[in-house]
Amino acid sequence: MSKVKVSQTSEAIVNLDADKVWKKLIDFGATEKFVPDLIEKVILEGNGVGALRTIYIKGGGEILERLTSINRNKLEMKFIILSTPMPVYNYEGIFQIDPKDGDKCSVKFESIYEVAIQEREEINTVIKNFQETFLSNLDK
């Protein structure tokens, strides 16, 4: 099975100030609020770098993720997926926040991963949809 490395980015303007969005992201355990149609619940173990979250998918399945980096100065955080039912390998997610005028900010969500060539198109669509849904719910 041949794999290909993919980097996919979504970006959105969020109607909250950067500090509020930053707190939501580094909380790391509230993911179900941002993708309520897909996620049943999230269990968080620990906090800060090294924290583990188990995401329980509606209809079955679990995703295990680890928070790997928090850079307050750059408003950037990173996480990796340790296990997932999706055919995605060596996944790293990166969030970066850019403050804007007023109570707004821009949030960039980048996913870097490997996927089998024959599944690339389908997985890219799934991940892009997830990114866009996640970003659209950050101000809720």
What is the helix (H) or strand (E) element at residue 112, kind and residue range? strand 104-116
pLDDT exceeds cutoff 90 at 16: yes
Per-residue CA distances from 32 to 2, 11, 56, 100 (Å)? 33, 19, 9, 26
Q: Which two tokens stand for residue 8?
A: 């996919």
> Mean pLDDT throughout 20-36?
90
Residue 65: CB atoms within 10 A of its CB come to: 22
Paired with 89 in beta bridges are 114
Per-residue CA distances from 137 to 4, 6, 7, 32, 91 (Å)? 30, 24, 22, 10, 22
With CA atoms as reference, report the closest residue to 107 among 1, 16, 37, 44: 16
Q: What is the pTM of this model?
A: 0.94
What are the structural domain ranges in the chain? 3-28+67-136
pLDDT on residue 30: 82
Helices (runs of H) and strands (runs of E) counted in the chain: 3, 7
pLDDT on residue 72: 96
> Mean pLDDT throughout 71-81?
97
pLDDT on residue 50: 96
Mean of the per-residue pLDDT values of the chain:
95
Model confidence at 74, in pLDDT bands (50, 70, 90)? very high
Model confidence at 102, in pLDDT bands (50, 70, 90)? confident
pLDDT exceeds cutoff 80 at 1: no
Q: For the CA atoms of the chain, what is the radius of gyration?
A: 15
CATH number of 3-28+67-136: 3.30.530.20
23 contact partners, CB below 8 Å, separation of at least 6: none
Number of alpha carbons in the 13 Å side-chain half-sphere of residue 137: 16
pLDDT exceeds cutoff 80 at 91: yes
pLDDT on residue 90: 97
Model confidence at 65, in pLDDT bands (50, 70, 90)? very high
pLDDT exceeds cutoff 90 at 29: no
